[in-house]
Structure 1
């Protein structure tokens, strides 16, 4: 096993960002990838003009790449926000306005995984009230995802970079997964296993794989520290991906790492050649 045995999807919201959005799918295809993923591409607009959605769909189709993962609206990413669904008021309303928009777009391009970032804690707001709002909105998202045959992903982030985000362990995120599934009865909520975030939290990643692989719906990687390409840090990523495979995970591996001062296309030298990317 190893890197050659995995299916990699390049995240176009962190790689190839030196190019305009609509040029990134073709650049990923030129680098050998058949699959890509995206954060919500309009961070200030949960319901962008139809022409912009159509243009992105066309860019994916013209490049011949499959969109394997898409975030729901999550506020300003990258930036101060870490999701909107647990935030009372306008941001929660923006998330709800985005649910059907994101699900419809995902359905139109064959995407079957929608990531729902939880959102930061807010001063002066009862955490229990935020959690209740989050569960309500995640159930709404799960029902919309179920209607298109998709899963909703719940992600743990890391405390050093996201100190106000409440899901900073695999167990915390999986607990929300279980609550969503219990609330809807649909069993289509899954854990987004981001190896980089768990490493930055100091988790035993091998133990997390053993405990949570059955509930894992998607995996993302970057090396740690630094969030660079595999081989730029200290994580044994090849061994960890082998462990995930052995534990039964056979889905896509999202490449969500920073290219540093290199062009994105020059950061894939760690992949076997010819690259096994889909």
Structure 2
């Protein structure tokens, strides 16, 4: 049976952040994710998550205003310091998966910077008992983002066997028009799935993606992980969950 988690960067935004944890539990979610926990003390977040028995699925290393710094030249010291901070939060939050965001950049040497920083992150996280993740994010959604096509992801995954893939089916559909094909191609390296309908990035059923087929494929593959609801609700978050209630019925 497929497992869906709340994404607190997109859902329950009508509430202050800490209240979103309680709201996610009340809505029936059994896990959450959010990209940046650093605004809050790690122990405070851990206590809130434990209070509602919600494990944290994944979060990102410090990303700055450029949505990541791994592909930016001259940011090596900042990147490495961010890994230390991420590792500290990961241990307190009992979350072993950390997203390494490439960042927005037009620098010609971005590929070299990204590869070098990933190599360092892989070794550092291995020593910390953590797993680095990457994600392809469409440049239509985030202009200038370096990790913006699946050919780059393929190269990274071939180079670094321990890196996992966050497969956002919204971005896959936006980039290729064939989210199902991307899922089939990258399933063996996918450790976390995210969803939103396309176009619009709203809840399933508001766009053109055939989620019934995608969910059936995930079940057929025996996908054991979580599916993050990284969509912008058309109305309130609770009102946007009818699709999930119907799926669970």
Shift of 1:172: 2.1
- Tell me, yes or no, if the aligned pair for 1:210 and 1:247 is still in contact at 8 Å: no
- Looking at structure 2, the residues matched to 9 and 147 of structure 1 have their Cα atoms a distance apart, in angstroms, of 28
Tell me, yes or no, if structure 1 residue 268 matches structure 2 residue 248.
Answer: no
- Within a 5 Å distance, the mapping from 1:3-22 to structure 2 comes to 5-22=1-18
**Contact 1:71–1:116 (CA<8 Å) still a contact in 2?**
yes
Shift of 1:130: 1.8
Shift of 1:215: 1.2
C-alpha separation in 2, matches of 1:193 and 1:237 = 14
Secondary structure of the 1:93 match is: helix
1:41 paired to 2:30:
no
Q: CA deviation at 1:190?
A: 1.5
Q: CA deviation at 1:166?
A: 3.1
In the other structure, the counterpart of 1:144 is 124
List aligned pairs for 1:247-262, cutoff 5 A.
247-260=221-234, 262=235
Tell me which residue corresponds to 1:66.
55
- CA distance change for structure 1 residues 41 and 108 in 2, over 3 Å: closer, same or farther? closer
2:73 aligns with: 88
The TM-score, its normalising length taken from structure 2, stands at: 0.91
Instruction: Give 2:81's aligned residue.
Output: 97
TM-aligned CA deviation for residue 237 of structure 1:
1.4
Of 148, 156, 161, which residue of structure 2 is paired with 1:176? 156
Residues 1:274 and 1:120: Cα distance change in structure 2 (over 3 Å): closer
Distance 1:237 1:231 in 2: 8
Take 2:49 and 2:113, find their aligned partners in 1: how far apart are those partners?
34
- Residue equivalent to 1:134: 114
Query: 1:274–1:214: structure 2 CA closer, same or farther, 3 Å change rule?
Result: closer
Distance between the aligned counterparts of 1:275 and 1:59, measured in 2? 26
Is the 1:23–1:59 contact (alpha carbons within 8 Å) kept by the matching residues of 2? no
Match of 2:216 in 1: 242
Runs of at least 5 residues in structure 2 that lack an aligned partner in the other structure: none
Once the two structures are TM-superposed, the CA of residue 248 in structure 1 deviates from its matched residue by 4.3
TM superposition score normalised by structure 1: 0.82
Q: Deviations over 1:46-67 (max 9, x none)?
A: xx6xx72222122111222100
SS at match of 1:201: helix
Select which of 200, 203, 207 maps to 2:174.
Answer: 200
1:89 Cα deviation (Å)? 3.0
RMSD: 2.1
Hey, what's the Cα distance between the residues in 1 that align with 2:207 and 2:96?
A: 31
